[in-house]
A = this chain, B = another copy of it.
Amino acid sequence: MAIARRTLRHAAHGRGAHPLPIPRQPAPRVALSTQLTPAAVERRWQLLSVSQEGREALLDTPTLDALGQFRGSIENCIGALEVPVGLAGPLRVEGAHAHGDYYLPLATTEAALVASYSRGAQLISEAGGCTALVLAEGIGRSPGFAFASLREAARFAEWTLSQRLVFNACVAATTSHGRLKEMRAIIEGNHVYLHLDFLTGDAAGQNMVTLATEAICAHILAKAPVQPDYWFLEANYSGDKKASARSFVGVRGRRVSAEVTIPADLVRRRLRTTPERMADYFRMGALGGVLSGTLGTQGHYANGLAALYLATGQDVACVAESAVGVTRMEVNAAGDLYAAVTLPSIIVGTVGGGTGLSGQRACLELMGLAGPRPAAALAEVCAGLCLAGELSLIGALCAGHFASAHRKLARATRHDSKVQEGGGNA
Asked if A275 CB lies within 8 Å of chain B CBs, one says: no
Q: Do B135 and A7 touch (CB < 8 A)? A: yes
Cross-interface CB contact of A50 among B83, B122, B187, B362, cutoff 8 Å: B362
Q: Give A210 to B425 CA distance when docked, in angstroms.
A: 10
CB of A290 within 8 A of CB of B291, answer no
- What 0/1 readout, one digit per residue, does chain A (243-279) give for beta carbons within 8 Å of chain B? 1111111100000011100000000000000000100
Residue of B at shortest CB range from A318? B302
- For window 78-130 of chain A, which residues contact chain B by CB distance below 8 Å? 78-90, 92, 94-97, 99-101, 103, 105, 107-115, 118-119, 122, 125-126, 129
Closest 5 CB pairs of A and B: A245-B293, A189-B340, A14-B96, A109-B354, A54-B362
A224 an interface residue at 8 Å Cβ cutoff? no
Cβ contact within 8 Å between B294 and A239: yes
- A188 CB–B CB distance under 8 Å: yes
A310 within 8 A of B: yes
Q: With an 8 A cutoff between CB atoms, is A190 at the interface?
A: yes
Determine the chain B residues whose CB is within 8 A of the CB of A422 once the complex forms: 32
Contact residues in B for A232 (Cβ distance below 8 Å): 281, 284-285, 397-398
- Taking A73-B111, A78-B85, A236-B284 as known contacts, 15 extra A-B pairs with beta carbons closer than 8 A to each other, sorted by chain A number, are A18-B94, A30-B118, A47-B103, A50-B366, A57-B361, A58-B363, A75-B118, A133-B151, A187-B342, A211-B403, A240-B300, A240-B426, A290-B326, A302-B317, A302-B318
Interface residues of A in 320-365 (CB under 8 A from B): 320-321, 323-324, 326, 328, 330, 338, 340-342, 353-354, 357-363, 365
Question: How far does the Cβ of A158 sit from chain B's closest Cβ, in whole Å?
Answer: 5
Question: Once the chains are docked, how many angstroms separate the CA of A161 from the CA of B105?
Answer: 38
Contact B326 A302 (CB under 8 A): no
Residue with the highest number of chain B CB atoms closer than 10 Å, among A28, A71, A150, A418: A150
Q: Is A44 an interface residue (CB 8 A)?
A: yes
B76 contacts A114, CB within 8 Å?
A: yes
Contact B295 A295 (CB under 8 A): yes
| Interface: A175 (CB within 8 A) | no
Contact of A89 among B30, B70, B109, B243 (CB under 8 A): B30
